[in-house]
Structure 1
Amino acid sequence: MGDLKQRTLITARERLRDQVAQALHAALIAGELRPGQIYSAPGLAADFGVSATPVREAMLDLAREGLVEPVRNKGFRVTELSERDLDQYTELRALIEVPTIGRVTEKCSRDTLEDLRPLAEAIVECARAHDLIGYLEADRRFHLALLALSGNDRLVETVGDLRKRSRLYGLTALDERGELISSAEEHLELLDHMVAGDAKAAMACMARHLGHVRSVWAKEGEEPV
């Protein structure tokens, strides 16, 4: 019974850490945690109403993803990305994802691709509901599921890491400007091209979509007019 109780405690602790990590991700996306700012585990723990331990563990998980950086005796600084960083992330994603979308279009059946339509539709639904966290999760699942059809697990892992490191800067501003829905609908356009077997159009759509994502990041850095 002692071992069982210990395993139960460990599981509960891991669940709490995961919940805190999700909350921190949400705060990063919403802009509540700002790049360059330092946040202490005790301070965040007080905000979340939990002890500092799961917060510290969750922040270390985010550090491994490159989203925050430990600062000795102070806490964690939210990672700042330069324009050069964002350009390089976008270039890497384009080099990987655009040709992969072309190959997946040519090799996969219509039915296999149609199975992903609910995810594409979920992205649009979240955009219409101003659900940024749901939007980001549906977007992540859709893109990685498409890439998984290539059969290359390391490719999917690499793009997943790139997405974590770059994040969707400007998502809140995009929603406030009323442009999030049109961006979301690009996923349906992409899927339509793929289902139709038009690899060239699908690749062009994917390249355009990544360009739009990069432009969102650029707008995030602009001063309001």
Structure 2
Amino acid sequence: MNGTGTGAGPALPLLGGRKPSHRERVADALRAALIAGELRPGEVYSAPGLAARFGVSATPVREAMLDLVKEGLVDTVPNKGFRVTAVSDEQLDEYTHVRSLIEVPTTAGLAATADPAALEALRPVAREIVDAAAAGDLVAYVEADLRFHLGLLALAGNGHLVQVVRDLRRRSRLYGLTALAEQGRLGASAEEHLELLGALLARDESAVRAVMTRHLGHVRGLWAAP
């Protein structure tokens, strides 16, 4: 699945290294579309409609949407489909605050501990983010961005921390991504991932902290009510 619904985008690796099921891949793509703001709060979407939009069958979409119901991302609407739940500015501020408390010091700490080879392994993902930004593919952008940040945090060796951030990101909404892409400004945010890798490889903890703080500030600027 991608932003145009014509193919299959990169799936998010699951903890434990097992290959995700088709249902899980569909759920990941739906979350990415929801986070990117392509699925709007208050709107009702049918499983067949979403299946046609993403070029898959209705059954895995229906199953995946039920998973998103359990996560509180959508509600069921009898005989109609699923309604995307709204997120308030106050909630988004809280998500940003918690993410900053976790991600800034954890990522900064990796400047001293991360294996350079492990950091370099994330460079192709960082370039995927840049390429998705250039193409205006918001779903691919969100999927690659998620893989990059969770992969980076995983280098700290705390699986529970990764799960907390994964959950916070799933609950976020990046309504401003479309406008940013249309204005040609999404690429600057995407490039910050490569800048972050450079600071980590240089073992420059203060620079890592500065880039992460700036990056999260940009993200919060996108978390605005539609």
TM-score over 0.5 (shorter chain): yes
Q: In the TM superposition, what is the alpha-carbon distance from 1:137 to its structure 2 partner? A: 1.4
Q: Higher RCO, 1 or 2 (CA under 8 Å, sep at least 6)?
A: 2
Corresponding position of 2:201: 195
Structure 1's 42 and 152: CA in aligned 2 closer, same or farther, altered over 3 A? same
Residue 177 of structure 1 pairs with residue 183 of structure 2: yes
Corresponding position of 2:91: 85
Q: What percent identity do the matched residue pairs reach?
A: 64
Which structure has more helix as a fraction of its residues? 1
Corresponding position of 1:60: 66
Deviates most, 205-214 or 70-79: 70-79
Summarize the alignment of residues 37-186 of structure 1 with structure 2, pairs less than 5 Å apart: 37-41=43-47, 44=50, 53-72=59-78, 74-186=80-192
Count of aligned pairs between the two proteins = 206
What residue identity is the alignment partner of 1:172?
A: T
Residues 82-133 of structure 1: CA distance to partner in whole angstroms, max 9, x if unpaired? 1001100101110100010111111123333222212112211221122222
Partner of 1:119, secondary structure, is: helix
State which structure, 1 or 2, has the greater radius of gyration over its C-alpha atoms: 1
What residue identity is the alignment partner of 2:95?
A: Y
Partner of 1:150, secondary structure, is: coil
The CA distance in 2 between the partners of 1:113 and 1:102, in whole Å, is 13
Query: What is the TM-score of this pair, normalised by structure 2?
Result: 0.80
Residues 140-172 of structure 1: CA distance to partner in whole angstroms, max 9, x if unpaired? 111011100000001011101111111433211
Deviates most, 108-117 or 194-203: 108-117
The CA distance in 2 between the partners of 1:46 and 1:188, in whole Å, is 35
The CA distance in 1 between the partners of 2:132 and 2:33, in whole Å, is 17
Structure 1's 94 and 44: CA in aligned 2 closer, same or farther, altered over 3 A? same
Q: In the TM superposition, what is the alpha-carbon distance from 1:134 to its structure 2 partner? A: 1.8
Partner of 1:186, secondary structure, is: helix
Q: Unmatched 5+ residue regions in structure 1?
A: 1-13
The CA distance in 1 between the partners of 2:60 and 2:121, in whole Å, is 37
What residue identity is the alignment partner of 2:178?
A: T
Corresponding position of 1:10: none
CA RMSD of aligned residues (A): 2.5
Q: Unmatched 5+ residue regions in structure 2?
A: 1-20
